[in-house]
Amino acid sequence: MASNRGIVYIGPGKVEVQGINYPKFVSPNGKEIDHGVIVRILSTNICGSDQHMVRGRTTAPPGLVLGHEITGEVIEKGHDVEFLEIGDLVSVPFNVACGRCRNCREQKTGICLNVNPARPGGAYGYVDMGGWVGGQAEFVMVPYVESLAVLISAPCIWMIITRSPVERPPIAYGLTELVKVVALLRSLILDIVTAVSPALAGLVKALYRFIITEEPLLL
Ligand SMILES: [Zn+2]
Ligand SMILES: [Zn+2]
């Protein structure tokens, strides 16, 4: 089996990079998942909210794999994943959400009713958020991937230009390298703009999100 490593919470003030299980298509309560993908993480983040756990202000259990900001390449996909392909680059929001419950249909995906038995709302790598394994790791499983993950790609922009919400254009296939170049160019442009004016960088980011998702990302 392929190996994996992740940032594991040990106790207040202490985290460690440890060997962790390679992700399976299984939910924290043991249910098989066909609507997910395995992502090889290319970029992740330390969130301010991780500090609540790391500094011991929560009931986070030792052994929790942290990380809920995830961008990476799809390397395996479940049977029910229709529109993403192996090699696609996806960005995943902090929350896990089914996309089909009442709250999700009202776009309140932060309080999805189906991803955390304890209460509404689930997230990766976070205490009391359903037990989903975090993404400060080499590999992570992203469930319900087509309800929330954002495809970062030239084809995505093409789809928006052509206003084709359902059909994926033929050029969407086999463009992994181009996809990575687009992502790299974006970050390069952002670095330059940030150096010139952080305020302008915020505007560019918002515009990029609007182009990619057609709606502002409310995080
Ligand atoms: Zn966060
Ligand atoms: Zn839901």
Taking 60 as the threshold, does the pLDDT of residue 158 lie above it? no
Task: Identify the band that residue 197 occupies on the pLDDT scale cut at 50, 70 and 90.
Answer: confident
Question: Token pair of 211, please?
Answer: 């182009």
For residues 177 and 87, what is the distance between their CA atoms, to the nearest angstrom?
A: 9
Residue 64 in domain: yes
For residues 61 and 10, what is the distance between their CA atoms, to the nearest angstrom?
A: 8
Contact present, 125 and 112 (Cβ < 8 Å)? no
Mean predicted confidence (pLDDT) in 63-80: 93
CATH number of the domain where residue 103 is located = 3.90.180.10
Residue 219 in domain: no
Distance 175 CA to ligand 1 centre (A): 30
Q: Identify the DSSP state of 61.
A: P
Which ligand gives the minimal distance to the CA of 115?
2
> Residue 107: which domain range?
5-151
pLDDT at 170: 38
Q: Please tell me the total count of domains within the chain.
A: 2
Mean predicted confidence (pLDDT) in 171-195: 65
Which ligand gives the minimal distance to the CA of 47?
1
Interval 99-155: pLDDT, tens: 999 999 998 999 999 999 999 999 999 999 999 999 999 999 999 998 887 776 555
Helix intervals (H) in 112-175: 145-148, 154-162
Same domain assignment for residues 10 and 114: yes
Distance 174 CA to ligand 2 centre (A): 31
Distance 129 CA to ligand 2 centre (A): 13
Taking 80 as the threshold, does the pLDDT of residue 216 lie above it? no
The least confident of 31-45, 54-68, 178-192 is: 178-192
Taking 90 as the threshold, does the pLDDT of residue 214 lie above it? no
Same domain assignment for residues 143 and 165: no
Same domain assignment for residues 121 and 165: no
Distance 78 CA to ligand 1 centre (A): 26
* pLDDT, greater one: 178 or 17: 17
Mean pLDDT of the chain: 83
* pLDDT, greater one: 90 or 164: 90
Distance 35 CA to ligand 1 centre (A): 23
Task: Identify the band that residue 173 occupies on the pLDDT scale cut at 50, 70 and 90.
Answer: very low
Same domain assignment for residues 41 and 107: yes
